[in-house]
């Protein structure tokens, strides 16, 4: 298992790191919140051990940014001397998966890490991605550049068809059948919905992704993708 240990106490970090490495885990270290967040975002770890009292950025803020800004779901085990119920609730609300109060038994840390890693290997969300545009098919959330976009059900169907086929062109007929089935709408309906989709997906952003192939259909791709 690859573990990131974010802990500013050198003695605790060395002791815990040695214990985990002796049990076959690969351990990366960070002694402050900013460095820890950077490592957590740019690397894929099986689990993160996160102290709360950190220089630069505390553990709660690290966890919030990891979940809300970076959209990373790496399992997080918080280690802290803060032992009140309110402290624990705040930790879980920030995005932690487990919470262990100092002083702790090294063996318990290892057991909890293994449990978190197994849990983290469950089904992953189905996400379509083109450039900075993402569509989570499980939550029906669409984001571009990290910003949550609001689309109606018809626009979501059109977007899914275009993203699944990307960068290929989807014909008007195929799009209409995908969205409306056998009861096809009037000839202007698809064009109106594409216009509305562009208003949300493209107009607020510098690079347009939805392209028209006149007389054929539409596709979604970055402009230099052929």
pTM above 0.85, yes or no: no
Q: Is pLDDT larger for residue 68 or for residue 83?
A: 68
| E strand spans, the chain | 2-6, 26-30, 47-51, 76-80, 98-101, 127-130, 133-136, 141-144, 147-149, 170-171, 210-213, 217-220
Instruction: List domains and CATH numbers for the chain.
Output: 2-120 (3.40.50.2300), 127-220 (1.10.10.10)
Q: How far is 74 from 96, CA to CA, in rounded Å?
A: 10
Give pLDDT tens digits for 57-79.
999 999 999 998 888 889 999 98
Lowest mean pLDDT among 84-93, 109-118, 170-179, 187-196: 84-93
Q: Is the pLDDT of residue 137 over 50?
A: yes
């Amino acid at each position: 298992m690859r573990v990131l240990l974010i802990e500013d106490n050198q003695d605790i970090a060395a002791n815990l790191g040695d214990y985990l490495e002796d049990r076959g885990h690969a351990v990366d270290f960070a002694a402050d919140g900013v460095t820890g967040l950077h490592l957590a975002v740019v690397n894929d770890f099986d689990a993160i051990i996160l102290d709360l009292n950190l220089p630069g950025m505390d553990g709660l803020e690290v966890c919030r940014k990891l979940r809300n800004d970076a959209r990373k779901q790496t399992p997080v085990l918080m280690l802290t001397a803060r032992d009140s119920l309110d402290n624990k609730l705040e930790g879980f609300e920030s995005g932690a998966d487990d919470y262990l109060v100092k002083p702790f038994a090294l063996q318990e840390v290892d057991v909890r890490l293994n449990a978190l890693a197994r849990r983290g290997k469950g089904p992953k969300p189905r996400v379509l991605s083109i450039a900075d545009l993402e569509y989570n098919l499980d939550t029906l959330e669409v984001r571009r550049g990290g910003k949550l976009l609001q689309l109606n059900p018809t626009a979501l169907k059109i977007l899914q068809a275009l993203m699944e086929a990307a960068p290929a062109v989807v014909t008007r007929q195929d799009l209409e059948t995908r969205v409306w089935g056998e009861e096809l709408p009037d000839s202007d309906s698809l064009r109106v919905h594409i216009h509305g989709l562009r208003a949300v997906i493209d107009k607020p952003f510098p690079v347009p992704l939805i392209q028209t192939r006149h007389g054929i259909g539409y596709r979604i791709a970055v402009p230099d993708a052929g």
